[in-house]
């Protein structure tokens, strides 16, 4: 029974520094709860001369990460350097030297998760990655352990605080996208190069991880249909609010329950929708009221029903809290010699596949700039009708002068390929100006009752 778990930390930036401070503050509390002391013995950094003002002895710092990954006296390695290529090498090296690893690296897990999990299993150790998704929200543990007896019927996530802050400010303060982004950068919520966040890639990495855990097959980054919020027009946010909707960059993970049933009545494994795009949510839904930099994950299980996980999705303290959780799990596994007690990922669905975006069905918001003259609506409705696309409602906002006016249509459930064809034809009408704006709607309708 190990009384002390020796930890090597690779990377000591914002999150690494937050972790060291958190351990200094609550390490004794964790030891009393675990029956094992967690001790950071070595820290690898790029620059030894940098003043870090951390409650550790300067002698434990090194620039040689390899010496940590291969040191027999180090039980556990925490990787917090970011990136993929070097971080992958660091983790593989540690795993091959019989060390369990903790990481907060979502891009790495999404891109190389399968390889890393297999290497961990082969070497009788484990890979922990709670901090890779949704910061301080323990969603990995919830899916992997708390909801293990449930089939996930649908999962929705607001997983990027930068985008959520921007959309919140655009709605509440009337800022345009560029101004809201500049404020997010000024406050430190957005990077100087915000592409990873505002173009949806950060959310897509997290969505792929959650989808893989929920459905038991690995979802590659290129399988996640991804759109960001860059250039979102304030007009659409205002019009949507008038109709009772709120914009969110939403990750959606849910099976296609409309998949055909075989002749003998068997229901095959349904393709799973894994998407990230700006979405209109009813204002009275709980996710519509997740504001600012906060994250939330909504999971519906077939046994438990609807559950919600809410909290800070980024920052030194939130991420450090998730790493502490993994440190506790890893310390108990080392203490009890049970590294494989809860495997990092168990592929259990051989027939799993990601649904093609063209076959995804949902309602849509459609905004057009049109000529204000008789027959315009009839031409548009004719195109939609020929493609079996129904209009649920429409309105023409008042207060727009001239012969060009906005026209907003709410579309019934339709396939993406049909909508894309409709927009192409509508955009070619001589009464339509500019590119049509199409945004998906998630009404959170009750799930259909399926026969066993």
206 an active-site residue? Answer: yes
- Rounded Cα distance between 68 and 70, Å, is 5
Cα Dmax for the chain: 82
Provide the CA 217 distance to its chain's centre, in angstroms: 17
User: DSSP string covering 42-93, please?
Assistant: EEE-S-TTS----SS-GGGEES-HHHHHT-TT--EEEE---SSHHHHHHHHH
Buried b (16+ CB within 10 A) or exposed e, 35-62: ebbbebbbbbbeeeeeebebebeeeebb
Here the tokens at position 143 are: 């899916």
The answer to whether 263 touches 434, Cβ cutoff 8 Å, is: no
Using CA atoms of 57, 63, 65, 66 in order, give the dihedral in degrees to the nearest 10. Answer: -120
- Looking at residue 131, the DSSP 8-state letter turns out to be G
The answer to whether 38 touches 327, Cβ cutoff 8 Å, is: yes
User: How big is the CA angle at 125 (ends 74 and 341), to the nearest 5 degrees?
Assistant: 125
Query: What is the Cα Rg of the chain in Å?
Result: 25
Here the tokens at position 97 are: 């030297």
Here the tokens at position 447 are: 């799930």
- Looking at residue 81, the DSSP 8-state letter turns out to be -
Tell me the CA distances in angstroms from 397 to 325, 394, 407, one per residue in order. Answer: 51, 10, 7
Find the catalytic residue in 99, 106, 171, 206. Answer: 206
Provide the CA 79 distance to its chain's centre, in angstroms: 20
Matching residue, tokens 């049509």 = 436
- Rounded Cα distance between 337 and 26, Å, is 24
For 191-254, the three-class secondary structure string (H helix, E strand, C coil) is CCCCHHHHCCHHHHHHHHHHHHHHHCCCCCHHHCEECCCCCCCHHHHHHHHHCCEEEEEEEEEE
Here the tokens at position 222 are: 């290129």
Catalytic residues: 206
């Amino acid at each position: 029974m190990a009384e002390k778990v020796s930890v090597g930390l690779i990377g000591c930036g914002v999150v690494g520094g937050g972790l060291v401070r958190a351990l200094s503050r609550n390490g004794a509390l964790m030891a009393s709860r675990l029956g094992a002391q967690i001790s950071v013995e070595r820290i690898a950094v790029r620059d030894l001369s940098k003043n870090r003002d951390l409650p550790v002895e300067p002698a434990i710092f090194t620039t040689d990460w390899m010496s940590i990954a291969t040191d027999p006296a180090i039980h556990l390695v925490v990787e917090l350097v970011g990136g993929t290529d070097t971080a992958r090498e660091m983790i593989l090296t540690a795993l091959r030297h019989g060390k369990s690893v903790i990481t907060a690296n979502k891009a790495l897990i999404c891109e190389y998760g399968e390889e890393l999990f297999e290497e961990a299993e082969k070497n009788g150790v484990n890979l922990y990655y709670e901090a890779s998704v949704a910061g301080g929200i323990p969603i990995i543990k919830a899916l992997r352990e708390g909801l293990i007896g449930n089939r996930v019927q649908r999962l929705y996530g607001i997983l990027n605080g930068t985008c959520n802050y921007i959309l919140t400010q655009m709605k509440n303060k009337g800022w345009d996208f560029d101004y809201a982004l500049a404020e997010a950068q000024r406050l430190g919520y957005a990077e100087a190069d915000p592409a990873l966040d505002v173009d949806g890639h950060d959310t897509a990495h997290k969505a792929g991880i959650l989808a893989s855990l929920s459905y038991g097959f690995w979802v590659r980054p290129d399988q996640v249909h991804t759109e960001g919020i860059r250039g979102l027009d304030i007009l659409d946010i205002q019009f949507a609010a008038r109709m009772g909707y709120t914009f969110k960059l939403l990750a959606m993970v849910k099976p296609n329950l409309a998949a055909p049933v075989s002749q003998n009545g068997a229901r095959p494994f349904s393709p799973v929708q894994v998407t990230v795009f700006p979405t209109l949510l009813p204002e009275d839904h709980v996710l519509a009221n997740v504001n600012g930099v906060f994250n939330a994950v909504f999971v519906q299980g077939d046994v438990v029903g609807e559950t919600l996980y809410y909290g800070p999705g980024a920052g030194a303290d939130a991420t450090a809290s998730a790493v502490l959780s993994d440190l506790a799990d890893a310390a108990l596994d080392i203490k009890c010699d049970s590294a494989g007690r809860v495997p990092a990922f168990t592929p259990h669905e051989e027939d799993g596949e990601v649904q093609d975006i063209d076959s995804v069905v949902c309602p849509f918001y459609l905004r057009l700039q049109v000529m204000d003259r008789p027959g315009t609506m009839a031409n548009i409705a004719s195109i939609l009708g020929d493609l079996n696309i129904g209009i649920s409602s429409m309105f023409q906002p008042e207060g727009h002068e001239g012969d060009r006016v906005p026209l907003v249509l709410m579309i019934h459930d339709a396939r993406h390929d049909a909508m894309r064809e409709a927009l192409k034809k509508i955009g070619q009408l001589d009464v339509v100006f500019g590119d049509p704006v199409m945004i998906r709607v998630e009404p959170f309708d009750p799930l259909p009752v399926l026969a066993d």
